[in-house]
Structure 1
């Protein structure tokens, strides 16, 4: 694919280089550390990514074919559109390409790849450097920040393939760092528009769940600080877990799960931060409600992770340390209707957006769409990546 783009912004002209036979790459920084008095002034988890860096005579990088600077720890949600581009309030970037001005991926087999960057295919050297959390570009930093990369590896990207790259902690005790490059397959599958798809990964570091909680960072997904919520996932899950799903209707005050979708077994999940293989997808129906002039789904999902042989518990009971990391749960709720939590008093654990995307499309305002999703557990956090097909624009 050959694409040349010129953007004009005020008096500035940005010339993008043509990328011949590109691969499509999206990068997340999964590094997150416990902040203590000793480390509170250190930017332990802010990174710069260099693809095919160029070094001077002193071994310091002075340029690169592709630069992903100011990469902070990823947030819980990666939406199906490039939500960060154009945000100039600060330079901090929750993912790559994120705010970077690059040639975005195309529409591929109906899927929107605008959150992926086009990069050259073939073998390439990729280095990650720890940088201070400032607005100074990487190549203008003092030499001491450009001396030794945190991660330095060579990867082989095939032309036309879609990749998700994770910088992460491999071992919680030794603090070994590395990457996990996953070759995505969603654009190659025969997926139905009437279904919602999800797969699961546990990319946690070796030894995280066994470590004492005093060594672990605060659960980034926790919205309400109490024992039930924090222990639902924040202390990590075991290396082998069974994944179940329940589907709820948010039109009732104290929701109960649908009879056909109550604690439905989906998969047996193994911790793995080495294999590049994409996990299989599991489907849920795109159910819609009978409401006038709308095609909105009022349903949302709650996921449970149970160690083999561990029984389901009452929703009001905590997981995490209380169950020796054998039980955890989280909810994918928001339907775009302004609410941030389900009705009733049940414990819903960490909160993520709904797997069903609801927006104004065609004559329907709103309309719900099925999506393709990856749920990734990294140490004590759960993350959601959503990919969506192209849909019709609104008709006003």
Structure 2
């Protein structure tokens, strides 16, 4: 193939060297396109997704200590000195997770830098399949069975882990054995379990959303408080800034979740119709928050929390595009939970009201201003309802399965979606 292109180029020399050069390049491209890439086959895989939930406040006193950027080594190999020299699976440059993990692999193909806010993220791996209608392309296929898994803290730099100085490769922050069953879906969280002792650990959750009889006309959400023991009680001055986007002009040093939340909280929610708020709101309507669940801080229990259902459409006339968005209220038991009663605590970040109530808005892409009156004093994440181009409809709205996870003073949203019809242009 390549020789044929060279001959064609020689026959056209009289028409100019430029055409010959183009043909030569084309021949090289054709040859390279004929190369066969052998896929890696994993028999009876499990499906794994990993989030780094560590977020430290860097000061002059601790800048040379534990870093919040990690490397994951599955079945590591060690040299004669006990220093890791390789691994069966490597997840390097694992930085603190983003506040939103969308229902598609948003990081693959991003070559602007090496940093990875989740695993597999940017890694080129065998992705998970369509399982019971759910898209698992944000999960990686990994061999099932028992595996030794180690996480090492590393500096935030573009130097690969195995090229770092020896001092960064001596002491893992986590070293454990995991048993991954074939065909199961796992989410692995690296987190801080005790804020005072600085104990770090992992929480391996075996997901079950693909096994449940969930209606495709309802939105589902569950909640976790995976905050470190002692974080809420710690002084304000030692807590890092949260990783959330803020609406309503709040001071970045103090938002609704900046101090963390208490050990036990009640969760309420309100669903709003954006059309109604934009067209008919007159300042007198006070929406009623419905009780959803009771939330306890827990960094040990790997069980999946129960899912709660929310509407996808406002009424039967809405069948293609939804205009609903959600607001969640976290309050200490016994506190009045009407939406209008949630105000900025006036007793300071370490006063008796701190950590006793917070608001989370799920609207748009998480960075858009919502319609009045939902514009003040919110931490924001994207809407739980995904609206996108599908088939002949642009846009079309789809139900999703979601997890809202509170870790210290940050709130994270992970969304999973069923496969939908591709756009027709």
TM-score (norm 2): 0.84
What secondary structure, in the 3-state scheme, does the structure 1 residue paired with 2:167 have?
A: helix
Alignment of 1:212 with 2:235, yes or no, is: yes
Question: Is this contact kept in 1: 2:246–2:255, CA < 8 A?
Answer: no
Deviates more, 1:309-318 or 1:67-76: 309-318
Cα distance, 1:124–1:339 mapped onto 2, change above 3 Å:
closer
What secondary structure, in the 3-state scheme, does the structure 2 residue paired with 1:287 have?
A: coil
Alignment of 1:340 with 2:368, yes or no, is: yes
Task: Return the offset for 1:296.
Answer: 1.6
Alignment of 1:115 with 2:138, yes or no, is: yes
In 1, Cα distance between equivalents of 2:47 and 2:135: 12
Task: Return the offset for 1:55.
Answer: 0.7
What secondary structure, in the 3-state scheme, does the structure 1 residue paired with 2:237 have?
A: helix
Residue 233 of structure 1: aligned partner: 257
Task: Return the offset for 1:144.
Answer: 1.8
* Structure 1 residues 196-275: aligned runs within 5 Å: 196-223=219-246, 226=250, 230-251=254-275, 252-253=277-278, 262-275=288-301
In 1, Cα distance between equivalents of 2:274 and 2:341: 17
Residue 180 of structure 2: aligned partner: 157
Question: Is this contact kept in 1: 2:241–2:252, CA < 8 A?
Answer: no
In 2, Cα distance between equivalents of 1:355 and 1:204: 23
Task: Return the offset for 1:211.
Answer: 0.9
Please give the per-residue CA displacement for 1:26-49, whole angstroms capped at 9, x wherever unaligned. 000000011224445777100000
Question: Is this contact kept in 1: 2:95–2:116, CA < 8 A?
Answer: yes
Task: Return the offset for 1:256.
Answer: 9.0
In 2, Cα distance between equivalents of 1:12 and 1:217: 50
Correspondent of 2:50 among 11, 15, 27: 27
Residue 354 of structure 2: aligned partner: 324
In 2, Cα distance between equivalents of 1:83 and 1:395: 22
Correspondent of 2:421 among 388, 392, 395: 392
Task: Return the offset for 1:231.
Answer: 3.5
Task: Return the offset for 1:295.
Answer: 1.9
Cα distance, 1:155–1:261 mapped onto 2, change above 3 Å:
farther
Task: Return the offset for 1:17.
Answer: 2.8
TM-score (norm 1): 0.90
In 1, Cα distance between equivalents of 2:39 and 2:161: 20
Cα distance, 1:32–1:15 mapped onto 2, change above 3 Å:
farther
Question: Is this contact kept in 2: 1:42–1:132, CA < 8 A?
Answer: no
* Structure 1 residues 1-396: aligned runs within 5 Å: 16-39=39-62, 44-223=67-246, 226=250, 230-251=254-275, 252-253=277-278, 262-287=288-313, 295-312=320-337, 314=340, 317-319=343-345, 321=350, 323-334=353-364, 340-345=368-373, 346-396=375-425
In 1, Cα distance between equivalents of 2:355 and 2:297: 13
What secondary structure, in the 3-state scheme, does the structure 2 residue paired with 1:170 have?
A: strand
Task: Return the offset for 1:84.
Answer: 0.1
Deviates more, 1:130-139 or 1:321-330: 321-330
Residue 5 of structure 1: aligned partner: none
Residue 11 of structure 2: aligned partner: none
Deviates more, 1:19-28 or 1:313-322: 313-322
Task: Return the offset for 1:384.
Answer: 0.2
Question: Is this contact kept in 2: 1:289–1:298, CA < 8 A?
Answer: no
Residue 16 of structure 2: aligned partner: none
What secondary structure, in the 3-state scheme, does the structure 1 residue paired with 2:269 have?
A: strand
Task: Return the offset for 1:347.
Answer: 2.1
Question: Is this contact kept in 2: 1:332–1:352, CA < 8 A?
Answer: yes
Larger radius of gyration: 2
Cα RMSD for the two superposed structures = 2.7
Please give the per-residue CA displacement for 1:21-75, whole angstroms capped at 9, x wherever unaligned. 1110000000001122444577710000000101111111111111110000001
What secondary structure, in the 3-state scheme, does the structure 2 residue paired with 1:135 have?
A: coil
In 2, Cα distance between equivalents of 1:25 and 1:33: 25
List runs of 5+ in structure 2 lacking aligned partners. Answer: 1-30
Aligned length: 385
Question: Is this contact kept in 1: 2:344–2:377, CA < 8 A?
Answer: no
